[in-house]
A and B are shown apart, each in its own frame.
Chain A
Amino acid sequence: MGKTLFEKIWDKHVVKQIEDGPSVVYIDKHFIHEVTSPQAFSGIEKRGAKLFRPQQIVATADHNVPTLHQELPIKDALSKFQVDTLIDNCKKHGVELYGLGHQYQGIVHVIGPELGITQPGMTIVCGDSHTSTHGAFGSIAFGIGTSEVEMVFASQCIMQSKPKVMRINIDGELKNGVVSKDIILYIIAQISASGATGYFVEYAGSAIRALSMEARMTICNMSIEMGARGGMIAPDQTTFDYIKGRLFAPKGADWDRKLAAWKELYTDADAKFDVEINIKAEDIDPMITYGTNPGMGLSVRGTLPTIESFTDATEKQNYEKALAYMGLQAGQTLLGMPVQNVFIGSCTNSRIEDFRLVASIIKGKQKDPNIKTLIVPGSQEVAKQIKAEGLDKIFAEAGVEIRQAGCSACLGMNEDKIPAGEYCISTSNRNFEGRQGAGARTLLASPLTAAAALLTGKITDIRDILN
């Protein structure tokens, strides 16, 4: 029987299978950042051990950095100490750091691909659940905890039980105004926030093949929001074209050799998945979430479920809790509802194509006067490209400020927060209670839907603007 893409890469990286236990899996690339690494560094030091393969680690500061005045010392003492600790640890242990002020600094899941570090067939981990992003290149990439970061420091390996495999096929053509963020929000709304727990997901089908690498990254990025260990897409010409010529991409004969190997990375026709789901691209509308987990999403034109539609008592209670937090009513529609904030950024949607999409909508127009914005590029490189293409002028003319690279209001660790009780249309990945600040009400959507709200001050079907 043939193998799935996942199995091909997994099998090649198993150093040892522990009897009735996890596999010891070799890790090719390890990304670290300031928040989930300090205790792993101190752990390894306490053991008197050394980093086993420091040259396979890349560090950046992203979660806890300001997005204005990065040239100045960080004001918050704890944040500064954490970022400084990363600098000290990287220096001490010989780890490459693209820290604040470095031309390659940015959100870890934006810089890995853009620098050509992320490549097909690799195993990639990072102490961050959105590491699944890198799976867009046909790699096995997943988030890990700090104890596991320490494991990789110590041995370049990790203990993992082999997950089951799921394939989600999306075939057909997307409707006008529908982008990759809508695809993944639709999938999660269909299968729930826990629907893929225990699985590694491969996304396939003609609609996926037609997507750019950046759009594929958005999909793989949110795999964790349905509980999946990771998500992946088989590499193809789109992938190879994206990687070629990037800073750390293979060159010359090395490129030819690797390219030949990458072309073998696909699921065999007779491979078996534990679960297979088929979705028609035509069924997907611009999506928005209304609740407090990413599975609580619907078409921007849809109506919220009624209370009576829940039969299970705990589920009903949870739905009511979410509605109370969000200040919404069962059965209502969201279209036309005023919002106060728009956040464009995060490892989900902060790449150059996202900024191009937004710019295409707001060009020559003014933002709604009541909207407050946090517009945050994913990396210094993205920020540079925004300027190179003159997009910064379009944003400035619309009355919108572009900030500096970082995770920002996606998780509200720095000062970029949404005020309590206010709504925020956010291109990020999580709408959990308090995620964007205590009491903040997050509505996840695509960059297009966010751009529409930027102009109108309310939840808008982007198709009403496009048409």
Chain B
Amino acid sequence: MQSLQKITSRFIPLRIENVDTDQIIPARFLKATTKDGFGKNLFRDWRYENDDETKPKADFVLNQQQYSGEILVAAKNFGCGSSREHAAWSIQDYGFKVVVSSFFADIFKNNALNNGVLPVTVTDAFLQQIFAQGAEDTLTVDLEAQTITIDATGAQAQFDINSYKKTCMLNGYDDIDYLLNMKPEIEAYEKANQW
């Protein structure tokens, strides 16, 4: 897993609530058996007319040239719906390292963390402050300090992450390495709980 410490970047504002994982990556792209190449289909049906890559929808933020960056900022309840990790893979493959929202769906949040994409939860008020910034403005996300800063105004918010996940993310460790090292404890648990 890729590590992440601190990032300063412009951001892409997605002012839509309840963005579900069917929008992030439609089901017809779930036939793959690898994790690669999902970025080109991220938000596929919001990005293109009739699934046609030569016809980008002008009103969708990913198609608006003034916006760029490695941070996606979305309205509340981002990533709801299906458990498909393909959603996190497509966001990561597109080039996002951080997703900011006032509220994340649980499964998506875990999937993002397991793929080196940092979900940053902020208050509604702070989210609105970010949305009020211009396309040129940047955000700084500092995982060590657990802060997100609107660089133009200096406004800063703290975000939560448990220290285990934070260590994983800072160093690029994943849970499976940890669990593989726990085998003796797991076997002991099994023995004690046979019935």
Contact = CB atoms under 8 A, between A and B. Distances in A.
Q: Do A and B come from one complex?
A: yes
Which of B16, B18, B76 has the largest number of chain A CB atoms within 10 A? B18
B176 interface: yes
Contacts of A19: 163-164
A145 B110 contact: yes
Q: Interface centre among B80, B189, B190, B195, by most A CB within 10 Å?
A: B80
Contacts of A433: 22-23, 45
A144 B113 CA distance: 13
Contacts of B77: 193-194, 197, 227
Contacts of A145: 83-85, 88, 107, 110-111, 114
Question: How big is the A interface, by class?
Answer: 35 or more
B62 to A, nearest CB: 16
A419 interface: no
B20 interface: yes
Given A145-B110, A197-B106, A318 B180 contact: no
B138 interface: no
A148 interface: yes
A39 B83 CA distance: 14
A15 B186 contact: yes
B55 interface: no
A358 B51 CA distance: 36
A128 interface: yes
Interface residues on B, range: 35 or more
A115 interface: no
A412 B83 contact: no
Nearest to B23: A433
A197 B33 contact: no
13 contacts: A19-B164, A22-B164, A36-B84, A39-B33, A39-B85, A49-B176, A76-B31, A143-B107, A147-B114, A148-B114, A151-B175, A151-B176, A197-B80
Interface of A: 12, 15-16, 18-22, 24, 26, 35-36, 38-39, 42-43, 47, 49, 52, 63-64, 76, 78-79, 81-82, 85, 127-129, 143-148, 150-151, 154-157, 159, 161, 163, 193-194, 197-198, 224, 227, 229, 257-258, 261, 293, 295, 314-315, 317-318, 321, 411-413, 430, 432-435, 438
